[in-house]
Chains A and B, each alone.
Chain A
Amino acid sequence: MKYRVLALACSALVFLPGGIVAEVPSVIAIRGARIVTVSGPVIPRGTVILRDGLIEAVGDAQPPPEAWVIDGEGLTVYPGLLDALSTLGLPDMPRLNGTGRPNAARPRSAPAPARGPEDRPLNTSYLRAAGELSLTDRRLEAARNAGFTGAVTFPTEGVFAGLGAVIDLAGKRPGEMVVQSPAGLYLTMYNGGFGTGYPSSLMGVIAYIRQIYLDAGQYKAARDIYAAHPNGLKRPGYDKWLEGVLEAPRVLLPANDPKEFERMLRLGEELNLQVLLYGLAEGFRAPEILRKHNARVLVNLRWPEKPRGADPEAEETLRVLETRDLAPSTPAALVKAGVKFAFYAGALEKPADLAPAVRRAMIAGLSHDDAVRAMTLNVAELYGVADRLGSVEKGKIANLVVTRGDLFRDKTEVKYVFVDGMKYEPETPAPAAEVTR
């Protein structure tokens, strides 16, 4: 009898709405901290109040009596970091290397040789990151420990890889993580090379992308006409490969060097797409091209490095050496040229590589403010979610990172991370750079 009661109690707990236990406390106040709002001036000493997962007040507000008060003395509050391009929450997706070149995202199962665009090869545009999220991805915690509270996460296989989502890096159910879906369509220039079926070259891939958009336009027109007058009209078929393409508010296109900037931007203009370029290793060479086209870009924080296992005697070109040396100066060059950019860490081996990578950009001339902005508000703006994310402002989602010391500096500790107002603490407060060791 006694056991039965216990069992009932347990099952009652199980059937409680997932959040209740964890949602205590629902009001948190961080008092007396330095607040880097990003959207406005830095508040040298102020209070941030979080209620029910949202930011209730910022500045000299009084903590309400029900609030859990955290002493912010000596701490700095930043908006939580956003990874502008990642596979976080999608543990089965091939990791990014950010180049979008062949081998960047080789589909695990080789596609059957396709004859042409009508076979829709390398197209999984119907895949939605929002529906594939997994809370068991161990990288989520590691990313939080490094200061990330959100990410834009994408399927990465094939040419039309799939629809991404803006997510928060915690939640009780995968669906709770989603902030915005779809966030965009991730494209690569992947091709298997000669003899692997259509498309087998860069030219083929670009022709294929054009064809898909032409098909999508035709498909949409037919669909709309039919929707308006279904009676007496032959119905158009359902094409799942085009649905995703039509739904995407923007596309991500790979571009690392000036030639690719021109190529991809022109492609985007021709197809009338909203484009985010990603990669940008050689952005320092031609920021003016990006400026001219009013480009919006995502800069890979994994700076180019010498490939492991390279032939030690192989001559490396001056261009390669130069790129390896100067790639971290891209962000500063973009700021100077007035090009809007965000950083992405999705290609880093581990979140702990983040701070050193950002520091390299700062050594090459990027200001600390711009670095923070490129991982917070700029990301939110580029993905159209700045009304919810990206800064410490009233009404926004309560995603914060609280540090001792400036973000990205060598000895800085990440003290707390708040995701949807929930507090997370790295287990042993360690320097930001070594959080996940």
Chain B
Amino acid sequence: MKPVALWIAAAVLSAAADNSFLIRGAAVYPVSSPAIENASLLVLDGRVAAVGPKIAAPKGVRVIDGKGLRVYPGMIDSATEVGMSEIGAVGVTNDVRELGDFKPQLRAGIAVNPSSEHIPVIRANGITAAMAVPDGGVIAGQASLMRLDGWTWEEMAVKLDAALHLNFPAIAARRNTPFSEAKREYNRDLKQLDEYLEQARRYQTARKAAGPGFRTNLQFEAMLPLLEGKVPLMVTAVREREIKAAVEWAEKQKLRLVLSEVRKPGAMLAELKAKNIPVILGPVQDLPLDHDDPYDAAFTLPAELYKAGVRFAFGSFGNQFSRNLPYQAATAVAFGLPYEEGLKSVTLYPAEIWGVSAEMGSIEKAKWADLMVTDGDPLEVKTQVRRLFIKGREVDLESKHTRLYKKYLARP
């Protein structure tokens, strides 16, 4: 038997499983390639098996009528506290920050609560994966890419060490603190960070030498993927000065960088393009940062980045408001970003930035079937997500919101 035939046979055998199905007669938007009207999409064992005009359903595979519906890859939110923070104001429900300055060994994904009430809410808007980003200290920990479905964090985890989150020292301008003092503090913080990296490098060398006195250090062990270039450093840098400092520092340290919460890159735009440094943009519907900025400063920033050729994806930097991710892209599109780019920056681009584009981010053969089925353009507020699939498994769209909706609708 040929391998392909074997695979199909195996698939047919497990066709009764709930992660295989065929959607027929829908418009399929793979994102990585042009849309196909009136198409079929076959999913077998949770992965995309075929996309085309007419595909026959293998025996026993459930068929879903896609008439009038559209199929898109599920969206990816590139910065959230989802699952780590339930109610911001209630301390015990927050697990975003850990004590200490240097904590590269912390994996945010482990802290994600699969039963968070926020997860069904944001999922219902078509978001199938999110970066859980830890905070606090200097090296806050590992940011983890999580699928928004699973009984345990292990089932949810796509990549626990998708990035290492660094709060890069900033010259904190405070009232009543002169600039010179803030600068001194900044230099001290930077030196401390450099020393930490130096220690990590020494550990790396010692580990290679594996001398008799070598002892494992879990903190430095967690720094190795970063030093080896396998994992990028996610650095919050808002203004030009901070961005410049972070970029120069990362270059000196030979580290891969992903910048987040960029707001005023100024002259650093060209630099980001030249060095191919991707950016995670914060809430697009934000107010302008400074008093004299144009009202639409945050709305037009994605288009500016696009024109400069800088790669970017969107992050919601919150928990419940992650559900607004598609509207971040939508606002950017309304203010000059080409539509296709808007859609990609919540699907394919985050997958590329976090190094998982072989597995997700678009509808392509052999990728996981993380799909949203909608009744219209997902960047439109009126559009409803009708079905959602994560790894080919259909996910219930009920959430606290819909429960409350029904409850109060039925009120006598």
Contacts and interface: CB of A to CB of B under 8 A. Distances in A.
B291 interface: yes
Contact of A318 (B176, B178, B292): B292
Contact of B291 (A308, A311, A312, A318): A318
A130 B212 CA distance: 82
Nearest to A106: B176
Contact of A317 (B176, B180, B291): B291
Contacts of B173: 310-311, 314
Given A308-B178, A309-B179, A310-B179, A315 B290 contact: yes
A103 B174 CA distance: 13
B290 A317 contact: yes
18 contacts: A103-B175, A103-B176, A308-B178, A309-B177, A309-B178, A309-B179, A309-B180, A310-B173, A310-B179, A311-B173, A311-B182, A312-B179, A314-B173, A317-B290, A317-B292, A318-B292, A319-B291, A319-B292
Nearest to A317: B291
A313 interface: yes
B171 interface: yes
Contacts of A318: 291-292
B179 A311 contact: yes
B241 interface: yes
Most buried by A among B171, B181, B182, B292: B292
Contacts of A319: 291-292
A319 B241 CA distance: 23
Interface of B: 171, 173, 175-182, 241, 290-292
Interface in A306-341: 308-315, 317-319
B241 A313 contact: yes
Contacts of A314: 173
Contacts of B179: 309-312
A388 to B, nearest CB: 41
Contact of B171 (A103, A311, A317): A311
B288 to A, nearest CB: 11
Nearest to B178: A309
Contacts of A312: 179
Contacts of B180: 309
A103 B175 CA distance: 10
User: Could you say which of A308, A310, A311, A312 has the most chain B C-beta atoms within 10 Å of its C-beta?
Assistant: A311
Given A310-B179, A311-B179, 8 more contacts: A103-B175, A103-B176, A309-B177, A309-B180, A309-B181, A315-B290, A317-B290, A319-B291
Nearest to B173: A311
Contacts of A315: 290, 292
B376 to A, nearest CB: 41
Contacts of A317: 290-292
A269 to B, nearest CB: 30
Q: Interface majority SS on A: helix, strand, loop or mixed?
A: loop
A315 B290 CA distance: 8
Interface string A299-310: 000000000111
Interface residues of A, number: 12
A315 B291 CA distance: 9
B355 to A, nearest CB: 35
Which A-B residue pairs are the 9 nearest by beta carbons? A309-B178, A317-B291, A311-B173, A311-B179, A318-B292, A309-B179, A317-B292, A315-B290, A313-B241
A308 B176 CA distance: 10
Most buried by A among B176, B179, B241, B290: B179
A312 B182 CA distance: 12
Nearest to B290: A315
Interface string A268-312: 000000000000000000000000000000000000000011111
A315 B180 CA distance: 17
B175 to A, nearest CB: 7
Nearest to B177: A309
B143 to A, nearest CB: 29
A315 B177 CA distance: 17
B320 to A, nearest CB: 23
Contacts of B178: 308-309
Nearest to B264: A315
Contacts of B171: 311
A100 to B, nearest CB: 16
A313 B176 CA distance: 17
Contacts of B182: 311
A311 B173 CA distance: 7
Interface in A74-128: 103
A313 B241 CA distance: 9
A113 to B, nearest CB: 20
Contacts of A309: 177-181
A361 to B, nearest CB: 27
B248 to A, nearest CB: 16
Nearest to B291: A317
Of A103, A315, A317, which is in contact with the most chain B CB atoms at under 10 Å from its CB?
Answer: A315
A16 B290 CA distance: 68
B266 to A, nearest CB: 11
B399 to A, nearest CB: 33
Nearest to A102: B175
A308 B177 CA distance: 10
A313 B181 CA distance: 15
Contacts of A310: 173, 179
A278 B241 CA distance: 38
Nearest to B289: A315
A193 to B, nearest CB: 10
Nearest to A309: B178
A313 B266 CA distance: 13
A315 B176 CA distance: 17
A314 B289 CA distance: 12
Interface in A26-46: none
Contacts of A103: 175-176
Contacts of B291: 317-319
A317 B290 CA distance: 8
Contacts of A311: 171, 173, 179, 182
A315 B238 CA distance: 14
Q: Counting chain A CB atoms within 10 Å of each CB, which of B177, B181, B182, B291 scores highest?
A: B291
A207 to B, nearest CB: 22
A418 B1 CA distance: 118
Contacts of B290: 315, 317
A428 B120 CA distance: 83
Nearest to A319: B291
A319 B291 CA distance: 9
Nearest to A320: B291
A408 B173 CA distance: 38
B131 to A, nearest CB: 30
A259 B173 CA distance: 26
Contacts of B241: 313
Contacts of B177: 309
Contacts of B292: 315, 317-319
Nearest to B180: A309
B216 to A, nearest CB: 43
A329 B208 CA distance: 72
Contacts of B181: 309
A177 B235 CA distance: 63
B84 to A, nearest CB: 24
A313 B177 CA distance: 15
Contacts of A313: 241
B191 to A, nearest CB: 20
A341 B180 CA distance: 39
A309 B178 CA distance: 4
A319 B292 CA distance: 8
